[in-house]
Chain A
Amino acid sequence: MSHVITTEGLTKAYGSRTVVDSLDLRVPEGRVYGFLGPNGSGKSTTMKMLLSLVRPTRGEIRVLGRPMDRRTRHELTPLIGSLIESPPGYGHLTGRENMAIVRRMLGLSERRVERAVATVRLRDQMDKPVRAYSLGMKQRLGIAMALAREPRLLILDEPTNGLDPAGIEEIRALLVSLAGEGVTVMVSSHLLDEIDRMASVLGILGQGRLIFQGTREELFDRSAPDLIVETPEPERALASGLSAVRVREGLRLAGRDGGSTAALVRHLVHHDVPVHGLRRVERSLEEVFMDLTGREGLS
Chain B
Amino acid sequence: MIRTAVDLEVRKTRRMRVWALCLVMVVAVVVLAGMSLGSEATRAGFADPDARPWERLLLNHVMVAAMTSPILVAVLAGRQVDIEHQGQGWTLARTAGMGPGLLCRAKALVLGTALVSTVVAQCALLILAGTVAGIEPTPPLLLWGRYALCLTAVHLALMGLHLWLAARVDNQLVGLGVGLLGAFYAVFSLLMPSWVAYALPWGYYAAISPLRMEGGDRLIESQPDPVLFTLFLGGAAVLFLTACRRLDRAEGGPA
Interface window among A30-38, A51-59, A190-198, A209-217: A51-59
Query: Which of B14, B91, B98 is the one whose CB lies under 8 Å from A53?
Result: B91
Cα separation A106 to B97 with both chains bound (whole Å): 9
> Does the CB pair A145–B91 fall under 8 Å?
no
B88's closest neighbor in chain A, by CB? A88
Query: Which of B92, B94, B252 is the one whose CB lies under 8 Å from A102?
Result: B92
Q: In the complex, how many angstroms separate the beta carbon of A29 from the nearest chain B beta carbon?
A: 21
Query: Which of A74, A77, A97, A105 is the one whose CB lies under 8 Å from B4?
Result: A105
> Does the CB pair A104–B88 fall under 8 Å?
no
Is residue A203 contacting chain B, with contact meaning CB distance below 8 A? no
Which residues from B are CB-within-8-Å of A129?
15
* Contact string against B for A residues 91-118, beta-carbon threshold 8 Å, 1 for contact and 0 otherwise: 1110001001110111000000000000
Is residue B12 contacting chain A, with contact meaning CB distance below 8 A? yes
Which residues from B are CB-within-8-Å of A84?
88, 91, 95
Interface residues of B in 1-24 (CB under 8 A from A): 4, 7-8, 11-12, 14-16
Is residue A85 contacting chain B, with contact meaning CB distance below 8 A? yes
Residues of B in contact with A, size category: 20 to 34
Q: In the complex, how many angstroms separate the beta carbon of A284 from the nearest chain B beta carbon?
A: 34
Known: A53-B252, A90-B12, A101-B12. A82 touches B89 (CB 8 A): no
* Contact string against B for A residues 110-151, beta-carbon threshold 8 Å, 1 for contact and 0 otherwise: 000000000000000000011000000000000001000000
Which residues from A are CB-within-8-Å of B138?
none
B253's closest neighbor in chain A, by CB? A53
Q: In the complex, how many angstroms separate the beta carbon of B100 from the nearest chain A beta carbon?
A: 11
Interface Cβ pair total, 8 Å cutoff: 70
Cα separation A80 to B97 with both chains bound (whole Å): 12
> Does the CB pair B96–A105 fall under 8 Å?
yes
Which residues from B are CB-within-8-Å of A86?
88
Cα separation A105 to B91 with both chains bound (whole Å): 13
Interface residues of B in 215-255 (CB under 8 A from A): 251-252
Is residue A48 contacting chain B, with contact meaning CB distance below 8 A? yes
Q: How many residues of A contact B (CB 8 A)?
A: 30
Is residue B87 contacting chain A, with contact meaning CB distance below 8 A? yes
Known: A53-B251, A104-B8, A105-B98. A97 touches B88 (CB 8 A): no
Which residues from B are CB-within-8-Å of A80?
95
Q: In the complex, how many angstroms separate the beta carbon of B99 from the nearest chain A beta carbon?
A: 10
Which residues from B are CB-within-8-Å of A90?
12, 83, 86-87, 89
Q: In the complex, how many angstroms separate the beta carbon of A293 from the nearest chain B beta carbon?
A: 26
B12's closest neighbor in chain A, by CB? A90
A146's closest neighbor in chain B, by CB? B95
> Does the CB pair A104–B7 fall under 8 Å?
yes
Is residue B114 contacting chain A, with contact meaning CB distance below 8 A? no
> Does the CB pair B11–A48 fall under 8 Å?
no
Query: Which of A54, A82, A100, A145 is the one whose CB lies under 8 Å from B251?
Result: A54
> Does the CB pair B92–A88 fall under 8 Å?
yes
Is residue A87 contacting chain B, with contact meaning CB distance below 8 A? yes
Which residues from A are CB-within-8-Å of B92?
88, 102, 105, 145
Cα separation A100 to B89 with both chains bound (whole Å): 14
Interface-central residue, A86, A88, A91, A102, by most chain B CB under 10 Å: A88
Is residue B196 contacting chain A, with contact meaning CB distance below 8 A? no
What would 4 more interface pairs be, CB under 8 Å, given A53-B251, A54-B252, A101-B8? A53-B94, A82-B95, A85-B91, A105-B96
Q: Give residues in A with beta carbon < 8 Å to B.
A: 48, 51, 53-55, 73-74, 77, 80, 82, 84-93, 97, 100-102, 104-106, 129-130, 145
Query: Mind listing 12 A-B residue pairs with CB under 8 Å?
Result: A53-B94, A85-B91, A88-B89, A90-B86, A92-B14, A97-B11, A97-B14, A100-B11, A102-B92, A104-B8, A105-B8, A105-B93
